[in-house]
Amino acid sequence: MNWYGLYTLFSKEVWRFLKVAIQTLLTPIVTVLLYLLVFSSVLSSHVQVYESVDYAAFLVPGLIMMTIIQNAFANTSSSLFQAKTIGSIVFILLAPLSSWECYLAYVGAAVVRGLLVGIGVWIAALWFVHLPLHNLLILLIFSILGSAILGTLGIIGAIVSEKWDHLSAFQNFVILPLSFLSGVFYSVNNLPGIWREISHYNPFFYMIDGFRYGFLGVSDVPIITSLWITTIFMILVAAICLRILQTGYKVRG
């Protein structure tokens, strides 16, 4: 293993988003606060998802997780896609870095950005709502898994896409629907039959549900189920991504 090389690439990726922190950290936090302001004030008097949990407290964990995963995806996909289009990716390809090392560096940075944004939203949300904290370890596990999964999907998206168009289609028609329909704004148990069924096939649902459990101590499906499914999904996307990196698909044409 070229550990120092891996560390260098990781710190470069972290450095990259820190250089534009207003765009990469502050903007997502402010955006979530706007969501929160609108949804919780309009809906809190009408909607109750779990007994003894008011809607805002239900909503916030979902919003935090959604922000985490979206930013993790944005981090790898934009960095790699940009490197690919401007050609600066050659300097990584010329270096003695393996697919694993590149993978870990990129995903590591995506996780760091995810966690920073997540913590930012959490702290900011505390001004608006009272949010319990049930289990910090669960929170940590799910936020790392979630951002790693989306970081991985970001790598795949950036490699497969040939134009910005493709990448934004991947983001708008795959990532966004999956995260919006994963029960961020509602409990899937309240959905009518067929939609509830379908939701259970959405891997993002388990990430959000497990993460929310970390705050509230209640969830739609047992936490252990969410943990398993999220872990298996993580392994699956990582395997696909590593395979793509190893074959040099669209990169070492």
Choice between 97 and 150, CB closer to another protein: 97
Quote the least distance from Cβ 244 to another protein, whole Å: 14
Could you tell me how many helices (H) and strands (E) the chain has, helices first?
12, 0
Could you tell me the smallest distance in angstroms from the CB atom of residue 67 to another protein? 23
Nearer to another protein, 101 or 209 (CB): 101
Cβ closest to another protein, residue 13 vs residue 220: 13
Residues that bind another protein (CB under 8 A): 2-5, 7-9, 12, 16, 19, 83, 86-88, 90-98, 248, 252-253
Specify the residue, 96 or 192, whose C-beta has the smaller distance to another protein.
96
Dihedral, CA of residue 8, residue 11, residue 13 and residue 16, to nearest 10? -120
Q: Which residues contact 17 (CB under 8 A, 6 or more apart)?
A: 24, 25, 75, 79, 109, 113
* Intra-chain end-to-end CA distance of the chain, in Å: 25
Pick the closer one to another protein by CB: 87 or 192: 87
Q: Which amino acid is at 35?
A: Y
Nearer to another protein, 93 or 133 (CB): 93
Provide the minimum distance between the beta carbon of 21 and another protein in the complex, in angstroms, as a whole number: 13
CB of 252 to another protein, least distance (A): 5
> How far apart (Å, rounded) are the C-alpha atoms in residues 3 and 68?
27
Closest CB 89 distance from another protein, rounded Å: 8
CA distance 36 to 61: 11
**Cα-based torsion angle of the residue sequence 228, 231, 237, 242 in order, rounded to the nearest 10 degrees:** -140
Min dist. Cβ of residue 17 to another protein (A): 10
AA identity, residue 9: L
Q: How far apart are CA 167 and CA 83, in angstroms?
A: 14
